[in-house]
Amino acid sequence: MKKFIKRIFGKPVLEEFTNGEIEFTEIWMKYNNGNSVGKKGSEGGKILDDQEHINGARITIEANVEDIPFAVTLGIYGLMFHTEFFSEKEVATEYFERKKNEIDRILEMLEIPQDNQDIEWENKKEEYLEKLISI
């Protein structure tokens, strides 16, 4: 919780503030309180859904991206960014949901302290990132 608050506000928070009974039940939230939906996305289409992970990732689905019906753009802040294009909404939506789960797994791995990371951890991270950018 302290890391999350520090990332959001850019500075440490008093200990008594973080000792409360605050519990997040959702790790994916509407990006910018949903204000981006309906606006132009990074690929030039109309944003249909735009969500952000509380630990630093974002995924967006857009419609009418030039000559392509749908685009899904995902990113893990400071690590990677990727876009896939689709001709069918159902396929794009399924990809959107599946990739959120894969991002969850990667972000969990990144929470492991550096002194506990070994070559096996690094290989697994690379494997997960490769899987994330594949259809």
State the pTM of this model.
0.74
Please, which residues bridge with residue 68 across strands?
A: 65
CA distances from 51 to 37, 60, 113, 122 (A): 10, 6, 26, 27
Percent of the chain residues topping a pLDDT of 70: 81
Whole-number Å distance between alpha carbons of 71 and 60:
8
**Higher model confidence: residue 5 or residue 57?**
57
Strands laid side by side in the 68-76 sheet: 28-30, 46-53, 57-65, 68-76, 80-86
Q: By mean pLDDT, which of 25-29, 48-52, 122-126 is the weakest?
A: 122-126
pLDDT band of residue 50 (cuts 50, 70, 90) is very high
Is pLDDT above 60 for 28?
yes
Question: What share of the chain has pLDDT > 90, as a percent?
Answer: 58
